[in-house]
Structure formats: C-alpha cells, structure tokens
C-alpha cells in the first residue's frame, strides 16, 4: 500500500487527542527512553534481546482506533546503544469487524546489520516483508536464550491501554521521519 493512501486512510486518527501533531525529536527521545525502561522492568527477557541487538527501534506510543475502517500511527527512535541514530513513523490501516481505540508501545530488536540496512534502504518497511521477523509473546520469551536467537528482528508489544475489539486485515508500514528539533 502506498504511503499516500495510508496517510489518507489514517486521517481520522488526527481527530484523537495527542495524535494530531507530530512529536519533536526531544519528545521522541524522552518517551523512547522511558518506554524501553518500562519494557525491561516488565519483561526481563527483553533486556537480553537488547544486549544482543545491533539496534532497537522503539515506538513509545502508538494510537490505534477504528470502527470498521481503522488506523494507527506512532513515532519512534532507532537506537544504537544509548544514541538515537534515526527517527521513524509507523502507520497502519485496517478494514474489518473492529471497533474501539487503544494505545500501546512496541520495540523491534534488530539483531544484525542486514536488518538495519533493510530498514534504511527500503521505501518503508512492512512487517512481514524483508528480514525474518518474530513477534515475541510470553511463551516465546520464556524459551529465549543466546542459542535460540536466530531471527533478524524480534518485536515486543507492551503497555497496552484502551479497548480495541475485532478482526481485520491490516497493513502497516515503517518509514523514516524527520521530526522538528
């Protein structure tokens, strides 16, 4: 799906409080640091991923809302160690039996340089196309060890609030973003 179409379809999110304006670099950095600290406290296995990852892409707050047609948007920071090396926006649209609104955070642990290069050279990265990707749930996290970490990217969703119910088809895209300072 083109970025332009995704922007048009996710336009209703602009009406939600806190989503209408884009975050500044300082806000994204502050919120990404706090979100990663929350993740490490809530899921200690994530710290092991963080120590082995080449880079971590953290989206501290993603807002999702919909009634039949839905959308989500969030801004994040790509970190190498403690340094932010880039900013990204995640957007998604969905259609189906769905209703509600929620906020959540997620982190993508990029385990090798190829995964980082893919993020930089793709014209927007769609999860599921490109590097091998695993969504980490409680059961998977319990089995993680240095010998089981074989994928390029691991994703963890955390800090969900609100209520979003339904079934739908979704396409999400992560693109480079240039925030104001």
Distance of alpha carbon 101 from alpha carbon 68, whole angstroms: 12
Least confident of 35-39, 63-67, 73-77: 63-67
| Residues 70-99: b if buried by 16+ CB within 10 A, e if exposed | bbbbbbbbbbeeeebebbbbbbbbbeeebe
* Nearest-angstrom CA–CA distance, 58 and 170: 20
pLDDT digits (tens, 9 = 90+) for 101-153: 889 898 999 999 998 988 877 777 665 545 556 666 554 544 444 444 557 88
Secondary structure class of 82 (helix, strand, coil)? coil
Q: Which of 53, 71, 86 is nearest to 175 (CA)?
A: 86
Residue 73: beta bridge partners? Answer: 63, 91
- The DSSP code sequence of 31-74 is HHHHHHHHHHHH-HHHHHHHHH-SEEEEEEEEEEEEEEEEEEEE
- Is a pLDDT exceeding 60 seen at residue 6? no
- Min mean pLDDT across 9-18, 44-53, 143-152 is at 9-18
How does strand 83-110 pair with strand 55-80? Answer: antiparallel
Q: What is the pLDDT of residue 131?
A: 54
């Amino acid at each position: 799906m083109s970025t332009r179409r995704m922007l048009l379809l996710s336009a209703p999110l602009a009406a939600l409080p806190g989503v209408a304006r884009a975050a500044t670099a300082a806000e994204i950095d502050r919120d990404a640091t706090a979100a990663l600290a929350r993740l490490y406290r809530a899921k200690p296995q994530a710290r092991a991923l963080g120590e082995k990852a080449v880079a971590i892409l953290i989206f501290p707050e993603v807002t999702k809302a919909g009634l039949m047609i839905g959308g989500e948007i969030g801004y994040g920071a790509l970190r190498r160690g403690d340094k932010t090396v880039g900013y990204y926006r995640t957007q998604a649209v969905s259609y189906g039996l769905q209703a509600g609104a929620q906020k959540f955070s997620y982190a993508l642990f990029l385990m090798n340089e190829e995964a980082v290069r893919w993020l930089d050279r793709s014209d927007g990265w769609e999860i599921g196309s490109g590097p091998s990707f695993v969504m980490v749930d409680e059961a998977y996290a319990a089995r993680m060890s240095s010998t089981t970490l074989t994928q390029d990217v691991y994703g963890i969703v955390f800090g969900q609030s609100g209520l979003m119910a339904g079934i739908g088809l979704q396409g999400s895209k992560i693109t480079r973003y240039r925030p104001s300072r």
